[in-house]
Amino acid sequence: MKIHDLSLTIETGMPTCGTPWHQTVEITQMGRLDEVGRNTHRIVLGSHSGTHMDAPFHFIDGGMTMEGIDPYLMWGPALAVDFRDKGAGDTVTLSDVEKLDVSERMIFLFGWYHNWKTDRYYKDFPYFETDAVKYLLDKGMKVMAMDTPSPDNGGAIREGGKTDSPNHVLLLEKGVFIIEYLNNTDVLSGGKVYELVAAPLKVKGSDGSPGRVLVRED
């Protein structure tokens, strides 16, 4: 049995989606061992810092917030899907997903985490066509994890506005738990089922939260 950590390291100055509505991460020391007998830190995060999960409230008025997410979505078998042949600006189409054996928890592998901490990370990452998302929803997907910043088109997100993320809206309306910014997905193989643990912080009223994502390979 092997356990793989698919989380990015949370650290001061790590990249964030470069918009004023995303907090930059700051970790500063407060207590010091030599002064007060213990080390403590202040951790300033945004709800979408690093590897994180989205709650329905991210895009849905009155939607579920992070503290109410069903733990069932956070733990269980997940099918890995290899889309590593998709490069910058490519899309996942309806015919790509029609070939899949869709399960409740899906982990989509693009290998995009290799671009983390480069200018490319938020630019032209592969994303899903809306027809493909609708198909996955119809087939019962409840958890959608990926190693890109979003299932939506990054070009549109940078322009902002209410309609820039149609896939997020479709998914969150159906209560799908979205897991973004996975790291280290090269350790996973397409077509394999892994035991997935994706545990966000239980933050009241939040639209999302960073969390630790692990998979177990038996």
Contact residues: Zn ion, CB under 5 A: 48, 54, 180
Contact 59, 200 (CB under 8 A): no
Shortest gap between Cβ of 52 and Zn ion (angstroms)?
A: 6
CB of 100 or CB of 106, closer to Zn ion: 106
Shortest gap between Cβ of 129 and Zn ion (angstroms)?
A: 19
- Using CA atoms, how far apart are residues 87 and 209, in angstroms rounded to an integer? 28
Shortest gap between Cβ of 55 and Zn ion (angstroms)?
A: 9
- Using CA atoms, how far apart are residues 51 and 146, in angstroms rounded to an integer? 10
Shortest gap between Cβ of 48 and Zn ion (angstroms)?
A: 4
CB of 54 or CB of 96, closer to Zn ion: 54
CB of 22 or CB of 84, closer to Zn ion: 22
Q: Which residue is nearest to Zn ion (CB)?
A: 48
Distance, CA of 108 to chain centre: 10
Residue 30 CB: number of other CB atoms within 10 A?
10
Shortest gap between Cβ of 83 and Zn ion (angstroms)?
A: 19
Shortest gap between Cβ of 167 and Zn ion (angstroms)?
A: 12
* Pair of tokens at residue 214: 């692990």
CB of 48 or CB of 86, closer to Zn ion: 48
CB of 48 or CB of 105, closer to Zn ion: 48
- Using CA atoms, how far apart are residues 150 and 145, in angstroms rounded to an integer? 9
- Using CA atoms, how far apart are residues 16 and 25, in angstroms rounded to an integer? 8
CB of 100 or CB of 198, closer to Zn ion: 198
Contact 145, 78 (CB under 8 A): yes
- Using CA atoms, how far apart are residues 175 and 53, in angstroms rounded to an integer? 12
Taking the CA atoms of the chain, what radius of gyration do you get in angstroms? Answer: 17
